[in-house]
Amino acid sequence: DVKVTQSSRYLVKRTGEKVFLECVQDMDHENMFWYRQDPGLGLRLIYFSYDVKMKEKGDIPEGYSVSREKKERFSLILESASTNQTSMYLCASRPPGPSNQPQHFGDGTRLSIL
């Protein structure tokens, strides 16, 4: 089974801090994604990466950056955390190829910015 592991289930940080969310997958997938999930807004794509050192902006990249130095690891960075970035953050990965390859999700990091 594909395993997508997010380093923290719950995280509390202060406004202005630089925050790192880590995601690791064990299936050698090229494609990795970061979403945030908010009540009433659903899942929104922040950034994605098709391969090592490659990144593409999603629908809501403002205030975030990403890093993909190794294939298995995709990091989401909040450069200067703000209270409106309090959310559930979900990482996903999928192999390249036909669209019937599903995205596999981690269990999420619930981030609170105080």
Under rule CB under 8 A, which residues in 85-104 are in contact with another protein?
90, 92, 96-104
Interacting residue with another protein among 11, 67, 105, 112 (CB under 8 A):
105
Is residue 72 packed enough to be buried (19+ CB in 10 Å), middle (13-18) or exposed (0-12)? middle
Single out the residue of 17, 24, 20 nearest to residue 2, CA to CA: 24
Among residue numbers 33 through 62, which ones bind another protein (CB under 8 A)? 33, 40-43, 45, 48, 58
Give the pair of three-digit tokens for residue 37: 């999930």
Task: Between 17 and 60, name the residue whose CB sits nearer to another protein.
Answer: 60
Is 17 or 72 the residue whose CB approaches another protein more closely? Answer: 72
Tokens 């969310």: give the residue.
Answer: 21
- Give CA angle at 55 (106, 50), nearest 5°: 65
Residues that bind another protein (CB under 8 A): 4, 33, 40-43, 45, 48, 58, 90, 92, 96-108
